[in-house]
Chain A
């Protein structure tokens, strides 16, 4: 005799948080005839995260910004090219529709004079507060629409049939009775994986990730699943925006080390890394000092210092009743939370807390997984949908998107489910699968000398929680953490439970082990840093090799991995193209320099290249020895026509840590191999080949001698399109520099010029405190005759200035970048070269 009940419905929704309930209600609005059943571990409407201090909805002022603007911003600044641009455009476009939908379901959104009360969070974004009864309001709306509910009911596993979902095996956590539910469609709305750390996130235990994985669904973006937040060290209360106000024990404002562009709208993993590095250096503890460290906020940005948003948990925020006007739930909830925390936290010392948020079930634009009939919405598939990009979510640097993503995903799924033909038969419900699931739970209950779920969770936390393992990652630290996960995995067959509450926790422990294993296996594969994903051993984003998702799938119990190229050709916002490289170059030792973003020059340097300077300020080539004079010449950055019709440009680059020997090394070394030229400026440098290879490789010569009187054939774009150039490097004494002065000079001069060449190039490098400064001059219209500069431009002709300006811009760009990489390149390659 069966010791379980059997039920059926059209659409089974697992999880009664904001996503599941919104989906249920929206399906019924599309199709009142659909039989929709929501199963919830605790109580639908009270469960989930939306009603526990999330309390904010992302708002887009669509009169001011277009969805395409936000897509471009998100793709570049947040999603790190991993944003599904099509889906994001839809999400932004539907903002008003979603807010109206929530209002129609009874959500309490503050309005003043008929308009939403909006708080700006950044140039593109804003938020609206929402009271913490939002989930309950949606449950009531769903009930009115005829949705059925089973509360206190745990989903133990899905049931499948030939690659199609057929239903789920569930049990009552109250009395332990099992029910096998057959369904034509199943929606996972079970939340993300939060590893049971943060209090408001504690319900995210990865049940749906495990169920989807077991059913053979594809997972993606599992590596972007470790959000962390700064919390006060004693109460562990979050300090939203705290990353702007971090100070070490020496009183240094360490936020400046990672917030190069000033305030951010949400925490990034670089803040976590900074905390770790400061602590490691012995500069801890780290504390927050409220104030206004970045000066006035940018227009439209979040207000600086003092009260930030007037919201809960905000660093320095006013938390008076006015912040929650008309929102009694939020007010009471926050008063309790803060009141309790403030009793123990007297100061503002902070450290990071793992929040997690792995949400990796892969879904299409209607939230359908790769298993037929199975959908996944909200936090179980936020990253898996591609909407989040390369950040864990929510909030994933996109504040207020958590609840709205759940509502969005719910509506997208409901659009398909609400119009689906439900007249056909459900897939056959495998009793064997259901009974195996029940037997598995029976074993937890039968075991006497086993392992408590907390022992497993403790190991998972030991692996996942330390920031240097899960957020600021490195291969050996991840291997170590994975070893701990393996230990935890070995304990799983011994899990025991005294009752159904513990049986539920045993299932959760299994899901946590799976999530942790997924995280480390996939993170070890991704050999780059991107978005929130930060590796110490691969610190740069690699858009050449890693515009790829890592797809994980369970094939007959084995965890399998493959990569899949992102469909960049379908999307409008593209990374800046770089010059092509060969497969060999990709696998060589210079690739790591090649993929680094070019270091951006100070904008004021480009300003100086805006207009030609006064010819009177220019230095004619005949006067090049004036470069030996102490101090500076009238024109150090700029370009001009010389009174004789020739043109010149000047550029000044500080090169920290660079020595004259390094600079000579660079010119001797780089002509040997094209890739060496490419790493100098990956936007514009296509090719180099010295025409005097023997000399370049002759170790008996000095570094200078190895490039003097050699010719480099280069292909590069100096701002006027790709061109082929031959550069004749010369001994500076041979082009007009004073031999006596050269003897006393402790810098170096790299120069080119000749009888045939119409330009003289001079890189005059002199020592300054902290490194060297490079003073570049190009003299256009000059060749070298009899060892001296000679004006070859016919009288009465004027050099056109457009290419001069373009070359100056190019020069600013390439030497800023060379200054940044040269000491490291020299350190790595000087040994083999000399």
Chain B
């Protein structure tokens, strides 16, 4: 999807710098701050809410908050309801 407004909440105090969330992103939303040893959620507009980063974070520091209303299926009858 494009032009979505999903959010990723991050609790830095819980983060242990394992890089799992960074590595898990398959659409390059998450980058790595080598100095701070923390993820940077750099391209959140490209997040597909696959939840993989949140799944692999063993410390529960990452939270994907989808905004489903910003996703459009683009079907002709989408506005039917």
- Residues in chain A within 8 A of chain B (CB atoms): 41-43, 45-48, 51-53, 132, 151-152, 173-174, 196-197, 199-200, 202-203, 231, 233-236, 276, 279-280, 284-285, 329, 332-333, 336-337, 340-341, 344, 349, 351-354, 454, 457-458, 461-462, 465-468, 501, 504-505
Contacts and interface: CB of A to CB of B under 8 A. Distances in A.
Contacts of A349: 81
B68 A336 contact: no
Contacts of A48: 26
A279 B79 CA distance: 11
Contact of B51 (A152, A234, A333, A501): A333
Interface in B14-63: 23-28, 31, 42-43, 46, 48-52, 54-56
Contacts, number: 111
B25 A344 contact: no
A789 to B, nearest CB: 61
A174 B54 CA distance: 22
Contact of B28 (A41, A233, A337): A41
A279 B54 CA distance: 37
Contacts of B76: 279, 466-468
A344 B68 contact: yes
A43 B21 CA distance: 11
6 contacts: A43-B23, A45-B23, A199-B50, A200-B48, A279-B77, A336-B64
Contact of A46 (B3, B26, B31, B69): B26
B55 A351 contact: no
A466 B74 contact: yes
B72 to A, nearest CB: 9
B22 to A, nearest CB: 8
A53 B51 CA distance: 10
A505 B43 CA distance: 12
A173 B28 contact: yes
Nearest to A231: B73
A199 B68 contact: no
B74 A462 contact: yes
Contacts of B50: 52-53, 199-200, 202
A196 B81 contact: no
Contacts of A203: 26-27
A279 B55 contact: no
B26 A352 contact: no
Interface residues of B, number: 34
B1 A196 contact: yes
B51 A465 contact: no
Nearest to A454: B2
B77 A284 contact: yes
B26 A336 contact: no
B74 A351 contact: no
Given A340-B66, A352-B73, A457-B2, 6 more contacts: A43-B24, A46-B24, A173-B28, A196-B1, A196-B2, A234-B69
Contacts of A337: 51
B2 A340 contact: no
B73 A285 contact: no
Contacts of A504: 28
Given A351-B75, A468-B76, A199 B2 contact: no
Given A454-B2, A457-B2, A465 B66 contact: no
B74 to A, nearest CB: 4
Nearest to B19: A43
Nearest to A173: B28
B71 interface: yes
B33 to A, nearest CB: 12
A42 B24 CA distance: 8
A351 B78 contact: yes
Contact of A235 (B42, B68, B78): B68
Given A52-B50, A199-B49, A285-B81, A353 B27 contact: no
B26 A340 contact: no
A284 B51 contact: no
Contacts of A236: 68, 71, 73
Nearest to B42: A501
Contacts of A45: 23
Nearest to A41: B28
Nearest to A338: B51
Contacts of B43: 501
Nearest to A464: B74
B27 A461 contact: no
Nearest to B43: A501
Contacts of A47: 26
Contacts of B24: 43, 46
B49 A351 contact: no
Contact of B73 (A151, A351, A458): A351
Contacts of A235: 66, 68
A336 B27 contact: no
Given A52-B50, A336-B64, A467 B75 contact: yes
